[in-house]
Structure 1
Amino acid sequence: MKFLDHVRGEVRILGWLLFIIPVAIMLAFALLAMMMFVGHVNRDFTAAMLIAGLEACGPLTLGLLMATMAIQDPALELQLTLPVRYRVTMFLRFFLIVVWTMLVECLATLLLHAILPWVLPKDLLASQLTWLAPTIWFGASGTILALLLRNRATCGAVLGFLWLIELAFHGYFAAQAWTQPWFLFATLYTPTANFWLTNRLELLATALLLFIVSWWYLGHSEWRFYGEDNS
């Protein structure tokens, strides 16, 4: 019961807006898809747009949310006096928003499989990797970048720049062996490539490493006082 009370308290601290944003993103793409159907837009283009929502927009949203949580804590001094270690509290918050975003994207994938199965280029199980790998990667990257840069605006700019570069030069990222392991949009552009599964697993492994680094960094809680972004 104490743990559940703790979780409810952290949800209130984070605010419901952070949990509404991922749902709003998926609903916006669903509405856009309905408008495209009404307008008799090319089916392949519609499918690509929906995959982009799962693989590109949802993950970037999580990265920005994680950056906000990692750098903004108005009660930091109070947190450091509590018996629960600071990094445990932070990772509980990370866990809540990551799991919530994963549930939203998983539900969206299941609905696509049930209603518009032609949208997904992979079977249902493999399709979960479409969103899972880039989502976890962006979440981990947003966390560590915010902690290191100590500025959520700069972190958001870095994530957004990488996001745009990979979208604009997707052909290069897909064709070069050294960029394939961190090509974030392999399902959108190269779903039949022989490196697709390896790419998904490498993104997940990289994200795990970044979360481990973040856990280590937050173990040195005094570092959070230097250059703290209070904006």
Structure 2
Amino acid sequence: MRPIDLWRYEVRRAGWTALLTPPVATAALVLIALLDGGADTDRNLVAALEMALPLAAGVGAASLVGRDPAVELQLTVPTAYRSTLLRRLAVTFGWAALLAVLLVAGLLATGWWPESRGVLSGQLIWLAPTLWLAGLGFLGGAAFRSPAAAGGLVATVWIVDQVFAGLQEHYWFRLVYLFATTRGAVPEDWTANRVTLVTTALALGVLGWVLLGRSERLLRGEAE
């Protein structure tokens, strides 16, 4: 199979949840921000970048494990099944990243990009939380072998960060807080927060990769 055909197939297998959720969620929040108007329009648009897009990417990543029929057959082919899932994760994240770049371009063109963030370093506004929630969704899928359970985990963490933003009085919570740009309590900790999120996101992805290497877990999940 040619590489282009392979990736085209993986895009189809990623599923509608992974492909539709990011644009729908982001467009909804952008529309709300524009209709609301007022002095906080720029902040609300950045919130779409930092809040809506990462949640959608995380739910999409959580939907990747447990969707394939006859997993036992895929485990017999030369290409490792977890490598297949990793390609689908790349498709999910790449699609969310493309949407993020388009939204960033729109914010720059309209002058709504936050002046406190440079164009390059400012990409961490969406990149850090998107990587983190996608890594969590991937790990949740590998651990639970259930898109619903893994998606619920992602949504729960997202809601906890929304509801308990006051926990930022603790330094450790500020380091892993997902919305440090729009709701951060200590702006000086922003860079440390973004670096911590990216680093721990990679760790979550590695843990998911390790769990997916245990074929008996996937087969047991298929049987259930």
The TM-score, its normalising length taken from structure 1, stands at 0.88
2:220 maps to 1:226: yes
Report what 2:18 is aligned to: 18
2:39 maps to 1:43: yes
- The one-letter code sitting in structure 1 at the alignment partner of 2:154 is L
Contact 1:140–1:207 at 8 Å: present in 2 too?
Answer: yes
1:5-52, Cα deviation, whole Å (9 max, x unpaired): 111121222345632332222222332233223xxxx212x2332222
Between 1:116-125 and 1:199-208, the stretch displaced more is 116-125
Contact 1:71–1:146 at 8 Å: present in 2 too?
Answer: yes
Q: Write the distance in 1 (CA, Å) between the matches of 2:196 and 2:94.
A: 20
* Residue of structure 2 aligned with 1:201, choices 191, 195, 220: 195
**TM-superposed deviation, 1:120:** 5.8
Report what 2:8 is aligned to: 8
2:67 maps to 1:111: no
Contact 1:183–1:199 at 8 Å: present in 2 too?
Answer: yes
Identity of aligned residues (%): 34
Q: Write the distance in 1 (CA, Å) between the matches of 2:100 and 2:185.
A: 18
**TM-superposed deviation, 1:66:** 0.8
Report what 1:182 is aligned to: 176
Q: Write the distance in 1 (CA, Å) between the matches of 2:115 and 2:51.
A: 15
Report what 2:34 is aligned to: 34
Report what 2:89 is aligned to: 94
Contact 2:128–2:198 at 8 Å: present in 1 too?
Answer: yes
* Aligned residue-pair number: 224
Between 1:90-99 and 1:73-82, the stretch displaced more is 73-82
The alpha-carbon distance between structure 1 residues 4 and 114, as it changes in their structure 2 partners (threshold 3 A), is same
- The one-letter code sitting in structure 1 at the alignment partner of 2:31 is L
1:55-84, Cα deviation, whole Å (9 max, x unpaired): 111111111111111232224122112221
Q: Write the distance in 2 (CA, Å) between the matches of 1:19 and 1:229.
A: 27
The alpha-carbon distance between structure 1 residues 201 and 35, as it changes in their structure 2 partners (threshold 3 A), is same
The alpha-carbon distance between structure 1 residues 118 and 109, as it changes in their structure 2 partners (threshold 3 A), is closer
**TM-superposed deviation, 1:190:** 2.5
The alpha-carbon distance between structure 1 residues 161 and 21, as it changes in their structure 2 partners (threshold 3 A), is closer
Contact 2:53–2:100 at 8 Å: present in 1 too?
Answer: yes
Unaligned ranges ≥5, structure 1: none
Say what the alpha-carbon RMSD is for the aligned residues: 2.1
Q: Write the distance in 1 (CA, Å) between the matches of 2:159 and 2:16.
A: 28
1:102-143, Cα deviation, whole Å (9 max, x unpaired): 111122112111113355641222221001000000000011
Contact 2:21–2:60 at 8 Å: present in 1 too?
Answer: no
Report what 1:150 is aligned to: 145
Q: Write the distance in 2 (CA, Å) between the matches of 1:171 and 1:116.
A: 30
Report what 1:141 is aligned to: 136
The TM-score, its normalising length taken from structure 2, stands at 0.90
2:159 maps to 1:164: yes
**TM-superposed deviation, 1:199:** 0.5
Between 1:69-78 and 1:124-133, the stretch displaced more is 69-78
